[in-house]
């Protein structure tokens, strides 16, 4: 299982996203302004602070981070790299002006309204962003797991995924 931390900078109903490039993984997608794998001996909050500095050039204090959700996710395969535990944080206070600090991995950073996100957002991040926009986001979420215990209650067909107790198309 791969642990990671994500940081969404928020201001005035907008969220800062970065567009990935040159990594071979989700290039072209708009993702959290800062994110990265949690290193051995590092907490999720420490990772969030480090990644905000490395990827955006901003200083975030751990005490200013707000936990949005912790998500266990999979792509449905047995590929170990796709078994993930992700800590999602928001922050509304930071020092510095966000900028692209890793141009070999990031094409751009841009502010988007939480109610008008680009189409090219990974489904698992859209789940979090939609929850932030609506104000309804469970403390613990999952993505990519079929959950047969809820199918009958929700009327889901077997090939559908259940996320946050909702049947997805």
Instruction: Determine the pLDDT at residue 37.
Output: 96
Q: Is residue 85 classed as helix, strand or coil in its secondary structure?
A: strand
Class of domain 2-144: alpha beta
pTM of the model: 0.85
Shortest CA distance to 128 belongs to which of 88, 84, 72?
Answer: 88
Query: How crowded is residue 87: how many other Cβ atoms within 10 Å of its Cβ?
Result: 22
pLDDT tens, N- to C-terminus, the chain (169 residues): 899 999 999 999 999 999 999 988 889 999 999 999 999 999 999 999 999 999 999 999 999 999 999 999 988 888 888 889 999 999 999 999 999 999 999 999 999 999 999 999 999 999 999 999 999 898 999 888 876 444 433 444 444 444 555 555 5
């Amino acid at each position: 299982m791969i642990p990671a931390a994500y940081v969404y900078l928020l201001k005035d109903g907008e969220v800062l996203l970065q567009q990935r490039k040159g990594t071979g993984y989700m290039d072209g997608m708009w993702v959290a302004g800062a994110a990265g794998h949690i290193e051995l001996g590092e907490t999720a909050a420490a990772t969030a602070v480090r990644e905000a500095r490395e990827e955006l050039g901003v200083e975030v204090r751990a005490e200013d981070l707000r936990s949005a959700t912790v998500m266990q996710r999979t792509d449905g395969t047995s590929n170990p790299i796709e078994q993930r535990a992700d800590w999602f944080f928001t922050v509304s206070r930071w020092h510095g002006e966000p900028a692209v600090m890793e141009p070999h991995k990031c094409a751009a950073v841009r502010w988007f309204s939480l109610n008008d996100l680009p189409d090219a957002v990974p489904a698992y991040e859209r789940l979090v962003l939609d929850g932030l926009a609506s104000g309804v986001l469970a403390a613990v979420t999952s993505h990519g797991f079929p959950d047969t215990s809820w199918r009958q209650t929700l009327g889901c067909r077997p090939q559908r995924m259940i996320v946050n107790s909702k049947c997805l198309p």
